[in-house]
Structure formats: structure tokens, C-alpha cells
Structure 1
Amino acid sequence: MKIWSLIKKFNFWQLFKVAGLVLKKPQYIFPTLRATKKTLVICDSLYGQNHHKNGKANAFRHAIWNVLICQNVFKISKDEIKAITWSDKVTTLHEKLAPNGDVPKAMDLHNNQLGRRYFRILKIATECEVIAFIEEKLQQAKLVIGIEEITSFSEDLVYLSE
């Protein structure tokens, strides 16, 4: 993970936002970084570089990232709501800072939210169980074109291209 190279690209406002988040809950930083690294390893293994595009692999990545962050933070906090709230703050900030268009950003936010919802079911699931669960959900993922469509599929993962 090339965290330092990412941080060097941030402007002052972005650094301020990240620092504010980190300072509020420093005990959650390493679990979040572990979840992020694990997410990338899993997605690279299953999908190669395709998870960096806007297809089903990307929907999988966002959902599993949120589940893993929640699981890791839950181990420390012992509080489901705190884990979900933290994951929401981290992944939403990521989307605000990422150079994404409006539709891909809406897609990512939607799939992040579903990942947090899946966590409630997968709270103590193994990595293999999490992967299998999300892969099953991916079978019903919906191809969308615009933001309006994304909001109409509140129960399904969404993606923009094959």
C-alpha cells in the first residue's frame, strides 16, 4: 500500500479532513488499513485489475471493503453502530477525495452502504463466508446508467459497465 504517495497528492483541505477523522478515532486507523489492504489482496486475486473499473468487480470491492472495515473495527469497539459509523465516515470521505465523476461516485457510495448493511449479517463471518456472500449478491447486481437508476435499486449492488 502506497499511503505516503497518496497523502502527498492531497491539498491542504483534504489533509485537514483526513487528519480530523484520524484524530477522532486513532484506535481505528490500523484496523481500517488492514481491512483496506485485505480488500485489495482479495480483489486482485479474484478480479485482477478489473476491480479498478466500474464493473461488477468494483461493486464487489466496495461492498467487501465496508464489511471488512466494520468487522475489524467491531473487534475493537464491540459496538455494531460504532463500526458502521466509522466505516461510513472513512469510505464517504474516500469518495469525496477520489477523482470520480458523479455517477461512479454515486455507484460507489451505494455499494459502500450495502456493504455496511451486509456487515450486520456477516459480523462474525469468516473471510471465505464474506466473499461467498458478496459473490452471491453480485449475481443480482444491476447494470445502471444514471444516478436515478442507482437510487431505484436500494437492495442490489450496482455497476456501470461490464
Structure 2
Amino acid sequence: MPAKRVEYGVNHHQLKKIQNLKMTKWEVIKNLNYKQISALLVWFLKHPFFMFATFKATIHTLRIAEKEFPKTHGLHNKANAFRHAIWNVLIAQECAKFSSDLDKVLAWTKQITDWHEEFSPNEKMAKLMDLHNNKIGRKHFVNLKDSSKTEIINVFYLKLESAVKINSESALEEIDNLVFLED
């Protein structure tokens, strides 16, 4: 039985923050430097199926996050932790359709999501939070690899009940659960 879904309200200050963080696809592309564009091109040439799978999983993740947590998953809250964890599971799940080598799939998932965090405009703690929640998603992938999206969503809703609010980098080392920065 899935956990009760909690609504996370958005105040005016948080809404402004979301609006300022949202970038169009073109703005994201324009902000990539030569090294980042080169890395994406090389990865695409080396791993076209994984890149396709990553793109597909990212679209699914954003749709799920917007449906489950409208206008709040872009903050540094539980909704964001949920989004990052399922993103990593879905990337690995989609990539596993092209490779039975789960170590390779998980290495790719880590590489591409770490790369994303490197170019994303985030403060240090937000970046560390995202990297941690990405890792939690990858950790749970092995048990969820054959699960439906609904089952994955339900698993991470349960994980939200024990998510930990953090305020320092040192706290992350001791936590083996989803984390968030603000309510």
C-alpha cells in the first residue's frame, strides 16, 4: 500500500525562486561551455543508445515530478529529492534495455547525472543534496529494475516519510536516505 501523498505548498518567495531557476532548453544550451558540449557529443557518439535512454528517462521523470509535485519539485525540498532519486532509477532502467551489464548501466547513470550537476546553477549544499539523492536512486535501482513506474513512484513516496532535512555537508556522510534542505 503506498504511503499517503503529502502536498507541499509553495509560498510567494519559493515561487519566485522556481521562476528564476527555470531556464529554457535554448538557455541551457547557450550556457554550456565548449568542454561540456564536447563531452555530450563524445558521449552521444560512444553511447547513442544510452543517450537516447537518458533523454527518454529525463522526460518521464519531469512529467512524473510535475504531476506528483506541481510547481514544487524545482526547490530543494522533498519533492526535489524524490525527483532526483526516480530520475536515476529511470535512467538506469531505460539503459538496461540496451545492456545487461548493470555495472556499466549504473556507471553511465552516475556519469551523466554527475555531469548534469556540474553544469547546473546550484549552490554547494543544493548540489551535494542532488548528488546524494542521485546516489540513493542508483542504490535502489537493482531492486527496482523490473518495476513499473507506478511501483517506483510508490517506493520513493515511502522513502519520503523518512527523508532527512540537512544543513551541513558533514551530515550527508552519515545518512543513507533521501535528503532535503528546505520544507
Instruction: Measure, in 1, the Cα distance between the counterparts of 2:110 and 2:53.
Output: 14
CA deviation profile, 1:26-69 (whole Å, cap 9, x unmatched): 12111111100000000000001211000000000000000000
Render the CA deviation track for 1:93-151: whole Å, top value 9, x for unaligned.
00011111111111000000010011011010001100000111111000000111112
- Residue 122 of structure 2 aligns with which residue? 100
SS of aligned partner of 1:152: coil
For the residues of structure 2 that align with 1:24 and 1:58, how far apart are their CA atoms? 30
Deviation at 1:17, TM superposition (A): 2.4
Map residues 11-160 of structure 1 onto 2, 5 A cutoff: 11-153=33-175, 155-160=176-181
CA deviations over 1:70-109 (Å, ceiling 9, x no partner)? 0000011122111111100110000011111111111000
In the alignment, the residues of structure 1 paired with residue 162 and residue 69 of structure 2 have an alpha-carbon distance, to the nearest angstrom, of: 18
AA of the residue aligned to 1:21: W
Q: Matches of 1:18 and 1:75 in 2, distance apart?
A: 21
Q: Aligned partner of 1:158: which letter? A: V
CA distance in structure 2 between the aligned counterparts of 1:103 and 1:151, rounded to whole angstroms? 13
Task: Return 5+ residue gaps in structure 2 as ranges.
Answer: 1-23
Cα distance in structure 1, aligned partners of 2:173 and 2:105: 24
SS of the counterpart of 1:53? coil
Whether the 8 Å contact between 1:74 and 1:82 is mirrored in structure 2 is no
Q: Alignment length, in residue pairs?
A: 161
Larger Rg: 2
Contact 2:43 2:51 in 1 (8 A): no
Normalised to the residue count of structure 1, the TM-score between the two structures is 0.94
CA RMSD of aligned residues (A): 1.5
Contact 1:28/1:73 (<8 A) preserved = yes
Where 1:28 maps in the other structure, the secondary structure is helix
Where 2:69 maps in the other structure, the secondary structure is: helix
Identity of aligned residues (%): 38
What secondary structure does 1:49 align onto?
coil
Give the TM-score taking structure 2 as reference length: 0.84
Higher helix share: 1
Structure 1 stretches of 4+ moved >6 Å: none
